[in-house]
Homo-oligomer: A and B are copies of this chain.
Amino acid sequence: MEKVRLGIVGIGNMGSGHAKYLTEGAVKGAVLTAVADSSQVMLDQAVSKFGSHLKTYSSPDEMYRSGEIDGVLICTPHFDHPTEAIKALHAGLHVLIEKPAGVYTKQVREMNEAAAASDKVFGIMYNQRTNPLYAKMKDIISSGELGEVRRTNWIITNWYRSQSYYDMGGWRGTWAGEGGGVLINQDPHQLDLWQWTTGLKPKRMRAFCSFGKHRNIEVENDVTAYVEYENGASGVFVTSTFEAPGTNRYEISGERGKLVVEDGKLTFWRLRESETEFNRTFKGGFGSPECWKIDVPTAEAQDGEHQRITQNWADAILKGTKLLAPGVEGINGLMLSNAMLLSTWTNDWVDFPINEDLFYEKLQERIRESTFQKAPAEGGKVVDLKGTF
């Protein structure tokens, strides 16, 4: 294969974003050849924007079986990511899904099983893994510079969303339409990075979600979660959509100091000797280990995070390059998100791995009992989401 021929399912906001850079030839070895969408209006718009050479399909299944594509980018509403990925994998296609991996881990686990049974390349659009700040954080932790992690603390409350945002689509802010609120819509990257940077395995979680706080929506838009990891460390994750200006501050404390990402900068407070060693040998009563504050150099953040993930996936298909964001890892962040809701709903601890049947059942209850409008997401209106994902 010289070039991977790509199709896009769902040519709304995200789908159009991918189509644009693919059409501009920004991903070497990949060419956009087809799009599928249930809306003829959207298909017509896509052809006029991205070229009349594009094959269009009103049904994704038709596109999967068309022989016109080798791989597919799945940019449908959240609920459909696993369903479409499974069908595409079964049709022998390479798959790159938008985040989140899905809405509940039960369906995502099935998707992962389908991927494992295939020989295709399965990726997820965790473009923030290419963000130099978090990549460097992970690098420092992996290299052992921080020592064993003892605490994580992410305050990510700068996902401001007004009522106007929620009113833009009938599906927004509803259980049936999106399957959740800030956790499933705004936080998937942070939930992925929270576990990806440290590599810690959560053991149990207790979380507190508020639903429709200061907003007329039924889903969660205020979350505080406490997690205990298998290594004995603990962590906190706080997120909301009604705070202005909000905060984005991620702190990781370890045996050899502290890392903080805030205001686009990574700072490392590095101990000259590990706290464990200092504590073992120090006999002076009051005193603490010598610490150096380090402004860690990181590459400039660049536009094109999405296309770098797509490039990496195309390279994996063509040359066997290692994936930055394997699709099977999408379940990790989603399980954290599901656990936060489940802990709130059961008013109890949630052990990992979570009881995915129970989560599914509780989610279905909420969908059934919803008093909000439940219009499914339709591609009829493209809002400018530039800079928001």
Chain A residues engaging chain B, CB cutoff 8 angstroms: 150-151, 153, 155, 157, 160, 162-165, 168, 206, 208, 210, 213-215, 222, 224, 226, 228, 232, 234, 236, 238, 240, 242-247, 251, 253, 257-258, 260, 269, 271, 275-276, 278-280, 282-289, 291, 383-385, 388
Contacts and interface: CB of A to CB of B under 8 A. Distances in A.
Given A157-B151, A285-B168, A236 B236 contact: yes
**Closest A-B pairs by Cβ, 6 of them:** A160-B288, A245-B291, A244-B289, A245-B269, A243-B253, A162-B282
A150 B384 contact: no
Contacts of A384: 285-286
Contact of A283 (B164, B210, B238, B284): B164
A169 to B, nearest CB: 10
Contacts of A234: 208, 210, 222, 224
Given A278-B162, A283-B164, A285-B164, A224 B245 contact: no
Contact of A153 (B155, B165, B253, B288): B155
Contacts of A162: 278-279, 282, 284-285, 287-288
Nearest to A150: B243
Given A151-B243, A238-B153, A244-B257, A285 B165 contact: yes
A213 B148 CA distance: 14
Contacts of A157: 151, 253
Nearest to A234: B224
A39 B193 CA distance: 57
B150 A279 contact: no
A335 to B, nearest CB: 20
A257 B286 contact: no
A286 B244 CA distance: 13
A223 B14 CA distance: 41
Given A164-B284, A236-B236, A214 B245 contact: no
A245 B226 contact: no
Contacts of A163: 279-280, 282
Contacts of A168: 285
Nearest to A256: B244
Given A234-B224, A283-B164, A214 B276 contact: yes
Nearest to A271: B244
Contacts of A247: 251, 253, 258, 260
Contact of A246 (B160, B214, B258, B278): B258
Contacts of A214: 150, 275-276, 279
Contacts of A383: 285-286
9 contacts: A150-B243, A162-B288, A165-B285, A208-B228, A210-B234, A214-B275, A224-B236, A244-B288, A247-B253
A259 to B, nearest CB: 11
A155 to B, nearest CB: 6
Given A208-B206, A224-B234, A164 B244 contact: no
Contacts of A242: 150, 275, 279
A238 B227 CA distance: 13
A287 B385 CA distance: 11
